[in-house]
Amino acid sequence: MIKILYAAGKTSNSKLQLIRFVQAMQDKPYLIKLAAFKDISPNINIDWTLDCLLNVYEPNQYYKDNENFRNYIDQIQSFKPDLIISDLEYFTTEAALHLNIPVWQYSPSIINFALTKKQKYNLGIFKQYSYLLNRNPHTVQRTLNIIENSNLKLICSHFGDLANPLEIQQGYEWVRPYSFQHNKSLVCQHNIVCASLSLNKKIINFVKDFDDTVYFSNQIYENHRNIQIKKLENNELEYFCNIKNADVFICEGQTSFLADAFYNGKKPHIVLNFDDNECVLSAALSDHLKLSSFLYKKEDLSFLEFETPSLNDINFLHQKIDQHFLKKE
């Protein structure tokens, strides 16, 4: 049996991306193991928890030569994966390179390296968000190094399904993020639908005075006036139905949430998560491409529906995997 190791990164979108990848691979003939950090691990079995590879005194700094990392490499070597898929996860990529295992990078953030500098200047990304996206030059260089040394560089983004997609450099590919297009339904019609992994106080303050609001989150143990709080994880069909039939959709800028809105014909309002570089990048591009709107005050809330797009000839990740291994057989 073909063995695959999937390693999630540390962005808030990584958790959504990991859950949806696992769901897409449920009926596939592959043996899959997962590696992730505790704070983004979903409620599924994670084979390797990566937090022990961080410097406990400086959590954003990596220990490359610690004993835990050597143990992790030994465990990967024992598993003998045929392919490693990395959501820009540093340790697992380093292990893949050390063990000479094929590694694919699969992340929305790769677009920051796939676009030319000229494009990014024209899009306003450098002008408005340069500090946030490049706050740690060592991290930027490290990320570039692992991308350039990987076998495939897959941009997981709905931007690839635009009628006129952004031009990307040679060697990079678009892949379609996992999402679901729902149908119109009277049962799921609501005024405002919100989504975030944890309850965002800013979003709550924006919507608490409006009637008929549903908030999907993994943090559900709160009560707020005029807001129905519902579980996001393991409740995907109701979540997608609510997006499709909402008047207004609000999120923090994670690529998966932006893609959910895009494929269901909605232009979301974004209350930006400034602590997450991937959110900043995806939200900035989405706003520039007029696929969404930033939300700064209650008066900005408005109906932003647009026509559900026609799709380009782009693969999902599981289709790339099938193509790769079918060629070998």
Same-domain check for residues 19 and 115: yes
Same-domain check for residues 120 and 156: yes
Same-domain check for residues 210 and 247: yes
Tokens of 167: 């031009």
Residue 231 in this model has a pLDDT that exceeds 90: yes
Task: Judge whether 306 lies within some domain.
Answer: no
Distance, in Å, from the CA atom of 147 to the CA atom of 90, rounded to the nearest integer, reads 10
Torsion over CA: 182, 311, 128, 247 (sign)? negative
Q: What is the DSSP letter of 210?
A: S
- Number of domain units in the chain: 2
Task: Judge whether 305 lies within some domain.
Answer: no
Do the beta carbons of residue 196 and residue 230 sit within 8 Å? no
In the structure, what pLDDT confidence band is assigned to residue 319 with cuts at 50, 70 and 90? very high
Helices (H), the chain: 12-24, 67-79, 90-99, 111-114, 117-123, 125-133, 137-148, 201-207, 236-245, 255-263, 277-288, 317-328
Q: Under DSSP, is residue 19 helix (H, G, I), strand (E, B) or coil? A: helix
Same-domain check for residues 83 and 145: yes
Look up the CATH number of the domain holding residue 197: 3.40.50.2000
Distances (CA, A) of 28 to 111, 143, 329: 28, 30, 16
Same-domain check for residues 49 and 120: yes
Distances (CA, A) of 307 to 3, 181, 262, 264, 310: 40, 13, 9, 9, 9
Task: Judge whether 161 lies within some domain.
Answer: yes
Task: Judge whether 211 lies within some domain.
Answer: yes
The proportion of the chain whose per-residue pLDDT surpasses 70, expressed as a percent, equals 92
Task: Judge whether 323 lies within some domain.
Answer: yes
Residue 329 in this model has a pLDDT that exceeds 70: no
Report which secondary-structure segment, H or E, holds 28. Answer: none
Give residue 228's domain range.
186-300
Do the beta carbons of residue 258 and residue 281 sit within 8 Å? no
Residue 113 in this model has a pLDDT that exceeds 70: yes
The predicted pLDDT at position 45 comes to 87
Tokens of 22: 């696992």
Same-domain check for residues 155 and 26: yes
CB atoms inside a 10 Å sphere around CB 8: 29
Distance, in Å, from the CA atom of 154 to the CA atom of 111, rounded to the nearest integer, reads 9
The predicted pLDDT at position 257 comes to 97
Same-domain check for residues 66 and 147: yes
Same-domain check for residues 149 and 202: no
Same-domain check for residues 211 and 293: yes
Q: Phi/psi of residue 156, each to 5°?
A: -85, 95
What would the DSSP string read from start to end of 134-191? TS-HHHHHHHHHHHHTSSEEEEE-GGGGSSSPPP--TTEEEEPPP--PPPP-GGG-EE
The predicted pLDDT at position 89 comes to 94
Sheet holding 227-231, edge to edge: 227-231, 213-217, 190-195, 246-251, 269-270, 293-294
The predicted pLDDT at position 44 comes to 81
The predicted pLDDT at position 124 comes to 67
Q: In this predicted model, what pLDDT tens digit does every residue of 64-74 receive, in sequence order?
A: 678 899 999 99
Same-domain check for residues 28 and 167: yes
Same-domain check for residues 24 and 97: yes
Task: Judge whether 225 lies within some domain.
Answer: yes
Look up the CATH number of the domain holding residue 110: 3.40.50
Q: In this predicted model, what pLDDT tens digit does every residue of 198-230 receive, in sequence order?
A: 999 999 999 988 889 999 999 888 888 889 999
The predicted pLDDT at position 43 comes to 78
Residue 133 in this model has a pLDDT that exceeds 60: no
β-pairing verdict for 190-195 and 152-156: unpaired
